[in-house]
Amino acid sequence: MVEFNPQILSREELRAISAGVNKEELLFFDKHCINVYYEQNVLIEAKEPGSPWVVVRDFKTGEQTEILDCTSQNWTLALGFANPDINYAVAEQMKRLTHIKSDVVSPSRAKFINKLSELSPGRLKGGRVHINNEGGSLAIEAAIKLALVASRDGDHFLTFRGGYHGNTLAMLAASQPFHPITRFRTFGVDFFTRVPQPYCYRCLWNYKNGLYGQKDPQCNMECFDLVKEYLMNLTTRKLAGVILEPYQAAGGHIPFPPDFLIKLRETCEEEKIFIIFDESQTAVWRTGRYFTLTEKYEKENGLDVSPDMMCFTKALGGGFPLGAMIASTKIKKRFTAAEDHTTFCNTPIGCTAGLASFMVIEKAKIGENCEERGKQITRRLKELQEKYDMIGDIRGPGLFIGIELVKDQKSREPFTELMEDMLHEGVRQNIFFGPSMPYLSGTGKLLMRNLIKIKPPLNITEKDAEFICDKFESVLKASINNLK
Ligand SMILES: Cc1ncc(COP(=O)(O)O)c(C=O)c1O
C-alpha cells in the first residue's frame, strides 16, 4: 500500500496549498474568478475536527473569527467540518486508489451500494442503486433516464411549483423558474410541466385580499384534484414520471401531506406513471430519520408513501461529492454502459466517505441526537413566536428547521427584507443562517424569499443548540431595528 511520502515537493510546499491565503492572493482571485461571491469571507479550517464551528477570515480586512454554521455548507456536512472518522477512512482510501474509470468496481462502491439498497424503505428495499460523483442534478437525471427507458411510451414529466432539482440546463427546466436571475434559456423545457404544490400555510385554494390563506380545516385536498387533471390527461405529451421533493427544501420547507402522497400513488399506479422522490436535502437523517416523509408517514400514519425511485446527494457522501438514485426492483430495466457514465462517476472517495458517515451516524446514534436537538431548538423558537409577531410558521422536524418570517402573524405577508438582513446580521454575530430560494415574477420582481433556515451539522451539542437559539433571538432583534 502506498504511504503518504511526497517525492517531488516538500511537505511544507504541499501543506501551504490549503493552510492559508494572503491578502494579495485574495485580491487577485477576486479579479480572476468568474463567479460573484455573496459571502465576503474565506473559510480557513474547522475550529476542531467534526465541529459545526469554522474559522473564517474576512476577505477585505483579513480579520479572523469563529462562526457556527447553520447551513452545514449547502446542507452537506452532517458530521461537521473535517470529521476525524470520515477523514481517516478517506486517507486510507487515498493510499489505495483515488480514481477509477466508470465501468469498473472498487470495494467501497460495492459496499456503499449494498448498504443503500439494504437501508431503503418500502418498495425501494433491496432496490437497484445508481451512483455518481457529481451530486443531485445527475441523480435526478439518472431517474429521468430510467423512467424514459422503462416507461411504455411516456417521455414527459410533471414537476411542482417551488421544486428545485439542480442547476444543469435540464434540471433548471424541471425546477421553479429563475429567469431573469439566470440569463440563459434552460434546455428541454418541453419535457416538463409544472403544477402547484400543496402548501398548507399559504393554501392556493384559500386566496383572499392578495394573500394565500392558511389551509382550511375542512380541506378536501383540492390541490390534489388539480394535479390529478394533469396526471390523467392535461399535458401535451404522455407522462413517464412525476418528480417531487416530498418535503420541498429550497422552495421553503414545505411538506407534502400524507393524503396527497397516497392519492398521488393511487393515480400514478393506475396511469403507469413513475413517482420520483428527490430527497437530496432531506434524507440521511437530517430530519431525524433516514428517509424523511416515507419513514415518518409509515411510523405515524401506517402509510406506505414510498416512490418508485428516490434520489440523494448533499450529506450522502459524508461531505465528499456523491449522488445516488435507487429504483424499485419492480423496474426491471438497467442502464448499458453507454447510457450512463461520466469521467468522475466512479471516484471511490465519495463512497468511502459516505459509508464511514453512515457507520458513524448509526454507531453514535446521531439520528437520535438530531431529533433531540431539533426538538430543543423548535421548543425555543415556539416560545419566541409568542413574543415576536414576525415569526410566522416554524417547520421541522429534526434539524431541518425553517422559519417563515412575516410582517405579522395575522396577515402572514412575507417579510423578505427581514430574512435578508438576518443573514448579514448573523455573520456579524458569529452565526451562518441559510436562506430559501427566491420566488420571482417573470419581470424579475422578487415576490418572496422569507424563510430562514437552521440546519447545522447533526452532531451538534446541547450547548451549541442553546447558542443557536440565543443568537436567533439577538439577530432577529437587531435586524428588526436595522430595518426601522
Ligand atoms: C432538492 C434538491 N435537488 C437537487 C439538487 C441539486 O443538487 P446538485 O447541486 O448537487 O446538483 C439540490 C441542490 O441544492 C436540491 O436541494
In the chain, % of residues over pLDDT 70 = 98
Residue 475 pLDDT grade (very low, low, confident, very high; cuts 50, 70, 90) = very high
Beta-bridged to residue 454, according to DSSP, are 401
| Closest-CA residue to 243 (of 340, 309, 334, 332) | 309
Query: pTM for the full model?
Result: 0.95
Instruction: Count other Cβ atoms within 10 Å, centred on residue 23.
Output: 12
**Which pLDDT score is estimated for 243?**
98
Instruction: Count other Cβ atoms within 10 Å, centred on residue 242.
Output: 26
How close is the Cα of 480 to the center of ligand 1, in Å?
A: 32
| Closest-CA residue to 162 (of 216, 232, 231, 212) | 212
The yes-or-no verdict on residue 471 having pLDDT over 70 is yes
In order, the DSSP letters of 408-463 are: -TTT--B-HHHHHHHHHHHHHTTEE-EEPPPEE-TT--EEE--EEEE---TT--HH
The CATH superfamily label for domain 366-482 reads Aspartate Aminotransferase, domain 1 (3.90.1150.10)
Instruction: Count other Cβ atoms within 10 Å, centred on residue 113.
Output: 19
The protein residue whose alpha carbon is closest to atom 6 in ligand 1 is 166
pLDDT digits (tens, 9 = 90+) for 362-377: 999 999 999 999 999 9
C-alpha cell recorded at residue 478: 437587531
SS3 236: coil
What are the phi and psi torsion angles at 397 (to 5°)? -95, -175
Residue 466 pLDDT grade (very low, low, confident, very high; cuts 50, 70, 90) = very high
- Please report, for residues 71, 319, 356, 369, 459, the alpha-carbon distance to residue 364 in angstroms, rounded to integers and kept in the order given: 22, 18, 12, 9, 9
Give the pocket of ligand 1 (CB within 6 Å): 135-137, 164-167, 245, 249-250, 278, 280-281, 313
The DSSP letter of residue 202 is: G
Q: How far apart are CA 188 and CA 168, in angstroms?
A: 11
Q: What mean pLDDT is reported for the chain? A: 93
Instruction: Return the amino acid letter for 223.
Output: C
How close is the Cα of 136 to the center of ligand 1, in Å?
A: 5
Q: Which of 140, 313, 314 to mutate to test the pocket of ligand 1 (most atoms within 8 A of CB)?
A: 313
CATH 3.40.640.10 residue ranges for the chain? 87-363
**Which pLDDT score is estimated for 45?**
92
pLDDT digits (tens, 9 = 90+) for 52-92: 999 998 877 878 899 999 999 999 999 999 999 999 999 99
Atom of ligand 1 nearest to the CA of 323: 10
How close is the Cα of 315 to the center of ligand 1, in Å?
A: 11
Q: How far apart are CA 53 and CA 56, in angstroms?
A: 9
How close is the Cα of 137 to the center of ligand 1, in Å?
A: 6
Q: For domain 87-363, give the fold.
A: Aspartate Aminotransferase; domain 2 (3.40.640)
CATH 3.90.1150.10 residue ranges for the chain? 366-482
pLDDT digits (tens, 9 = 90+) for 168-187: 999 999 999 887 778 887 88
